[in-house]
Amino acid sequence: MLRKWLCTALLLLLSPVSLPAQENYLVAYAGFAGFQAPVWAPKDLGLMAKYGFNGDVVLVPGSVRQIQAVLGGSIHMAQIDAATGINAINQGADIVMLSGTLNNFPYSFVTQKEIRKPEDLLGKKIGILAVGGATETATFLALKAWNIPRQSVTIFPAGDSASRIAALSARAIDATMLSYPDINEALRLGLHELVKMPDVKGTSFPMNVMIARRAFVEKNRDAVKRFQQAYAEGTYQFMTSREKGIAVLSKRLRFKNPKGLEETYDYFAKNFSMPTRVSRDGLRNTLDIIAQRNPAVKVDMNLGRYLDESIIDELEREGFFKRLTGKS
């Protein structure tokens, strides 16, 4: 009997220990523009592994689809634009903004070559990505800044950036918002860059905000914190290392033109935010726009309904950003 027990014990000691599998978290990006780099960099630069975050990045086109995927549980976090996030929250979605890396529109208003000033847009067709999204919001803000009535132009969804460039080339639309590197492609086709959106007064807007379900954050706070560390350092390394930044863009962008990669890097490296906070002024600006767009819908102006930066606050108290940047 004793011999049998000893044999059983020996087998148990020699057998591999079965541990519960660590969950693999998925973080979504919306497309192939340079402003998606803060999502790519943590993975491509090995920072998810550095901070013990077991995750990967996946393409889910468009902020609306990303939110649907987060709510459905097929992805865990997503980098979206603030306007789409606010609209979803106001409609009852259990999501919250956690951090941000870009607080202005990374767009230029690209038009047919004969459109040389804002007034030339009167009566024209403007293509956007989706109703309620960032390209529509940017378009509304630009028209407002130029005192061009919304009713004097036709605005409609015209597909992703590649589809909109094709539509411009075929003269199916007259104007659209594009980001780098797509701006370069449009200019090579002879189209006109009417204005860079950061140069248009009154257009502060949180373009990159990281979201998750509130319930997910509460249940997985440690994992979310680990990702936020990787997200911040990935953004910082992109901003401060031209070699690493261009390597990330070269891997992820659909084109490999060296000049285009350099132009894309130069634009975004100086525009990302550190620490990775959402601009509260930009968020208020976005809420004002949404309220003006839908006067019949009551918009909650309490930022706490949309934003929870408690993890970012915690990292700041712990000195994480100071150690990362070497600045007080």
Sheet with 77-80, edge to edge strand ranges: 55-59, 25-29, 77-80, 204-213, 95-104
Closest CA to 143 of 125, 118, 164, 168: 118
Q: What is the pTM for the complete model shown?
A: 0.80
* Residuewise pLDDT in 10s, the chain (328 residues): 434 444 433 333 334 433 344 689 999 999 888 999 999 999 999 999 999 999 999 999 989 999 999 999 999 999 999 999 999 999 999 999 999 999 988 899 999 999 999 999 999 999 999 887 889 989 988 998 899 999 999 999 999 999 999 999 999 999 999 988 899 889 999 999 999 998 888 778 999 999 999 999 999 999 999 999 999 999 999 999 999 999 999 999 977 788 889 989 998 999 999 999 999 989 998 898 888 777 777 788 899 999 999 999 999 999 999 999 997 5
Considering only CA atoms, which of 178, 215, 182 is closest in space to residue 196? 178
CB 316 within 8 Å of CB 110: no
Nearest CA among 239, 205, 235, 210 for reference residue 104 = 205
Q: Give the pLDDT confidence score for residue 22 in this predicted structure.
A: 62
**Per-residue model confidence (pLDDT) at position 297:** 73
* Residue (of 125, 75, 124) closest to 95 by Cα position: 75
Which of 279, 298, 299, 296 has its CA nearest to residue 287?
299
183, exposed or middle or buried, with CB in 10 Å at 0-12, 13-18, 19+? buried
Looking at residue 2, what is its pLDDT? 39
What pLDDT, on the 0 to 100 scale, is given for residue 184? 87
